[in-house]
A and B are shown apart, each in its own frame.
Chain A
Amino acid sequence: MVYLINIKLREDYSNLIFYLSPLVAVFLTLFFGSFIFLLLDLSPIESFKIFFISPISNSYGISELFVKATPLAIIALGLSYCFKNNIYNIGAEGQLTMGAIFGGGIGLLFNDSTSIFLLPLMILFGAIGGAFWATIPALLKTKFNTNEILTSLMLTYVALFILDYFVVGPWKDPAGYGLPKSMPFPDAGRLPVLFDGLRIHIGVYFAIIICFISYIVYNKTLFGFKLRVSGFSSKASQYAGFKYKNLIFYTFLISGACAGLAGLFEVSGPIGLLYRDISPNYGFTAIIVAFLGRLNPLGIILSSLLIALTYLGAEDAQLFLKIPSAVGFVFQGLVLFFLLGTDFLNKYKVSIS
């Protein structure tokens, strides 16, 4: 007897479950995560406490949560434009890096400036840098129909090498004992913090504003309508007379600019200079954030906080439980895996005959 797996599209695909499935995925992640802790001979409850509760049990922890969530949210909000349009920009990490190079470069160029215009200029160039880097896969896609997943991903590594070149080469700090880093940005080029002594910075406001604008764009404007139609069906989009190539371009520009902005905020905020490892994979993790938030602006804010917590938890787990911080990535991976799984089961009915 041969058993065959039948996969059928559900006709009564549920909208409610679509929005509930991130919660189910988080629950499943915790459930299976507790087995991982058991395997490591740790008490799951104690471990979860250290992982998810103790990191945010004081004001410093909460500030750090927002420090991590801010770039994730800004990048993921940008990516949601691409993903809604069924364009898979996987290269936000590279666009983030380019934003840091462009914006940070301005900070280094005017390193004795005290002008209040320095920071806005850096922010502007950060966005331009990210958008510029996103233009390349957009052009390749629209002119030569290349796969944007591959080109945007490969360009990430190119961007990382360019940053490498600058910090070991022309931009290396002469007083930096030969370390591969630039000199610090002038004070006028640093992002203001919200509270003295904490690292939470005004990037949070940007995330909230971008969230609000995205909500308006998706729900009230013709542009958002075009994105949604194209995401549902490219044929319907053609029938409506929308120019798909322009949409590809705009969405790449928006997501690139957001990633660039996030990159600039990192270097002019918590870091304060340019060096090799400016981002702990924010550009990639933001992909998970975007999908976990259901490409919904408000959902992305919530999911960015949750995923930021896995970063903090991993650091504390390394410190107190003596387990590698990579456990944080394991949790991110599990969440994505269960989210894709629940989505699949919501959309398709699986039976064995």
Chain B
Amino acid sequence: MQPIVEFQNICKEYPGVVANNNVSFKIIRQSIHAILGENGAGKSTLVKILYGHVKPDKGQIIINSDLVTINSPTMAQTLGINMVFQHFSLFESLTVAENLILGMSEKISLSKLKSNSETICNKYGFNLNLNSPISSLSVGQRQSVEIVRSLLNNPKILIMDEPTSVLTPDEINKLFKIIKKLVADGLTVIFISHKLDEIINLSDHVTIMRNGEVISNLTTKNEDPESLGYKMLGYKVTKTKQINNVNYSENVLSLSNLSSFSQDPFTTNLNKINFNLKKGQIFGIAGVAGNGQKELMEILLNENDFEFNGDIIFKNININKLSTFQRKSLSISYVTEQRLGHSAVPEMSLSENILLSMNHKTEFKKGDFINFDRINSYANDVIKNFNVDTPSFNVKAGKLSGGNLQKFIIGREIMSDPELLILSQPTWGIDAGSEAFIKKSLIELSHRGVSIIIISHDLDELLEVCHNISVLYEGSLSKSLNVENIDITKLGKYMGGLFD
């Protein structure tokens, strides 16, 4: 069949990262085309280019055999391309109909719009009351509003970015039926996902992307979840690196049956998470963003009294109820995902940022006063030992580059002699030199008997540094895999949500 969309040599580079590198493939008319890849593989950038949201550096897009330049989403819509985003843009206090009319590019009366919308709802089985306010709708219904809004523009191509990430299994089934019906009626659907079984069930073709490049174009019916998972990750086997075995047997941290029950639709509830961390062990928690990493870190750090069931045992002490301050006093250290404004205050000097995390230690205080000599010399030691490129400890943290600041933060925590160090995305968005230095520092730290948990979307990093890896998927934690003789097929399946 003739392709409806053809990408030709699409390139897009952001400072420090190549998002798309010579991406070329075709999408067949009236089919469901899945794009599969890890975080940062370039899927979102590619569809944003198609939707006119991002301008490519190079390359062209051919639609219906015509070479087109798509400068804006409005232009994409006139070409018949519409997109349903992962995060909705709806006005809570307005009704469904009012939200729909706001999305229309041409003038239309409210009554005409209502009758058009009702036709679409009836035809495809969307269960929507056009007069209810958005605030009263479930997440699944809100997504329906977004889809109906796109369909009102009579699209030829519909892009859906991770549409199932916020839905219940029942809602997913419904959505899939709707998508299949839409395609039967002539639509082409581009479906972005990292869930292997969904791709197998739904799509006709699948393009696998990695590091901004297309790895392969496949016809789905020839594949199974294992083969897809392997193709997504297979290259990684060669990248693993041996690190010392754990010689200790002493348990440092145990989580048992950790579960959470938040009502907020944009949080992932944790489901009976169990693991044991030994002294000197580096434990990696892999998985695609939004599968409960944020919530797990929230519980481990306890900044907001996030509610949960289960127990956290640190060296035979139940620390469920202990505050961040008390946990730090027990020599647990934290490096959060967000550097500026969380684990460091950009407006404050480096030495003040030492005090930020070390204020539980009496050595930095003189009664109620700050011991400036101590924090200054501590800051100096961190700068020296961790190769932080800065003229002085008086420089504001916000003036440092990402890599330098992260070295400073991790150095600050390491030099406080923790027994357990918990890091989230430790090398995200920093230069290669700093990244290598941080990885080396973490491995050395584990040799000194310190236990480390790394929560990361970056599998390469985990395979390089960790002893064991588990995957977090929709709030559940997989069995832990030993990195030394890791079974990549299994890891791929875990990443796609297929646990044993």
The 8 Å CB contact of B343, one of A223, A228, A232, A239, is: A239
**Could you tell me if B369 and A229 are in contact, using CB atoms closer than 8 angstroms?**
no
Report the Cα distance A118→B42, complex, angstroms: 76
A225 at the interface (CB under 8 A from B): yes
Interface residue range, chain B: 20 to 34
Closest to A231 in B: B347
- B370 engages A236 (CB within 8 Å): no
Contact status B341-A240, CB under 8 Å: no
Hey, which chain A residues are within 8 Å of B355, CB to CB? 225
Q: Within B294-345, which residues are at the interface with A (CB < 8 Å)?
A: 301, 303-304, 323-326, 328, 334, 336, 338, 341-345
The 8 Å CB contact of A236, one of B323, B342, B360, is B342
Complex Cα distance, B325 from A76, in Å, reads: 32
Q: Write out the residue numbers on chain B whose beta carbons fall within 8 Å of the beta carbon of A239.
A: 301, 303, 324, 334, 336, 342-343, 356-357
A225 to B368, CA, bound (A): 11
Q: Does B365 contact A (CB under 8 A)?
A: yes
CA A223 to CA B357, docked complex, whole Å: 15
Cβ of B121 < 8 Å from any Cβ of A? Answer: no
A5 part of interface (Cβ distance < 8 Å) = no
Interface residue from B328, B336, B348 paired with A232 (Cβ < 8 Å): B348
Indicate if the CB atoms of B368 and A236 lie closer than 8 Å.
Answer: no
Q: How far is the CB of A138 from chain B (nearest CB, A)?
A: 20
A35 to chain B, nearest CB (A): 37
Set of chain A residues within 8 Å of B304, measured between Cβ atoms:
238
- The verdict on B474 contacting chain A, using a C-beta distance below 8 Å, is no
Q: Does A322 contact B (CB under 8 A)?
A: no
Residues of A within 8 A of B344 (CB): 236
Per CB-CB distance, the 6 closest pairs between chain A and chain B, nearest first, are: A241-B325, A238-B303, A233-B341, A241-B324, A235-B342, A236-B345
Contact residue among A220, A222, A225, A240 (Cβ-Cβ distance under 8 Å from B357): A240
Chain A residues, CB < 8 A from B369: 220-222
Q: Kindly list chain B residues whose C-beta atoms are within 8 Å of the C-beta of A236.
A: 341-345, 356
Please state if A225 and B352 are interface contacts (CB–CB under 8 Å): yes
Contact present for A233 and B345 (CB under 8 Å): yes
* Chain A residues whose CB sits within 8 angstroms of the CB of B489 once the complex forms: none
In chain A between 125 and 142, which residues have their CB closer than 8 angstroms to a CB of chain B? none
- B-chain residues with CB within 8 Å of residue A228 when the two chains form the complex: 348
Q: Hey, what's the 0/1 contact readout for A213-246 against B, CB within 8 Å counting as 1?
A: 0000000111101001100110110111110000
Decide: B368 and A222 in contact? CB cutoff 8 A.
yes
12 contacts between A and B (CB under 8 A): A222-B365, A225-B355, A229-B345, A232-B341, A235-B341, A235-B342, A238-B303, A238-B304, A240-B356, A240-B359, A241-B328, A242-B359
B356: min CB distance to chain A, Å? 5
Residues on B with beta carbons closer than 8 Å to the beta carbon of A238: 303-304, 324
Q: Which of A221, A233, A242 has the most CB of B within 10 A?
A: A233
Highest count of chain B CB atoms <10 Å: which of A228, A236, A238: A236
Q: What CA separation (Å) do A77 and B345 show in the bound complex?
A: 24
CB B373 to nearest CB in A, in angstroms, measures 13
Supplied contacts A221-B370, A229-B345, A238-B304, 16 more A-B pairs, CB within 8 Å:
A220-B369, A220-B370, A222-B368, A222-B370, A225-B352, A225-B359, A233-B345, A236-B341, A236-B356, A238-B303, A238-B324, A239-B336, A239-B356, A240-B356, A240-B359, A241-B360
**Least CB separation from B336: chain A residue:** A239
Could you list which residues of chain B lie within 8 angstroms of chain A, going by C-beta atoms? 301, 303-304, 323-326, 328, 334, 336, 338, 341-348, 352, 355-357, 359-360, 365, 368-370
**B342 with A241: CB separation less than 8 A:** no
Find out whether the CB atom of A229 lies under 8 angstroms from the CB atom of B370.
no
Chain A nearest CB: distance from B424 CB in Å? Answer: 12
With CB as the reference atom, state the residue of chain B lying closest to A220. Answer: B369
CA distance A28 to B343 in the complex (A): 40
Contact A222 B356 (CB under 8 A): no
- Expressed in whole angstroms, the minimum distance between the Cβ of A214 and any Cβ of chain B is 15
Q: How far is the CA of A223 from the CA of B370 in the complex (A)?
A: 9
Chain B residues within 8 Å of A223, by CB: 368
Q: Are B359 and A235 in contact (CB under 8 A)?
A: no
Report chain A residues within 8 Å CB of B345.
Answer: 229, 232-233, 236
- Chain A neighbourhood of B324, CB < 8 A: 238-239, 241
A236 CA to B345 CA, complexed, in Å: 7
Among A222, A235, A239, find the residue whose CB has the most chain B CB atoms closer than 10 A: A239
Residues on the B chain within 8 Å of A229, using CB: 345, 348, 356
In the complex formed, the residue of A with least CB distance to B303 is: A238
Complex formed: what's the CA distance from A220 to B356 in Å? 14
A233 proximity list for chain B (CB < 8 A) = 341-342, 345
Q: How far is the CB of B369 from chain A (nearest CB, A)?
A: 5
With known contacts A239-B303, A239-B324, A240-B359, A225–B343 Cβ distance under 8 A: no
Closest to A226 in B: B359
- Bound-state CA distance A229–B343 (Å) is 11
Question: How far in angstroms is the closest Cβ of chain B from A267?
Answer: 34
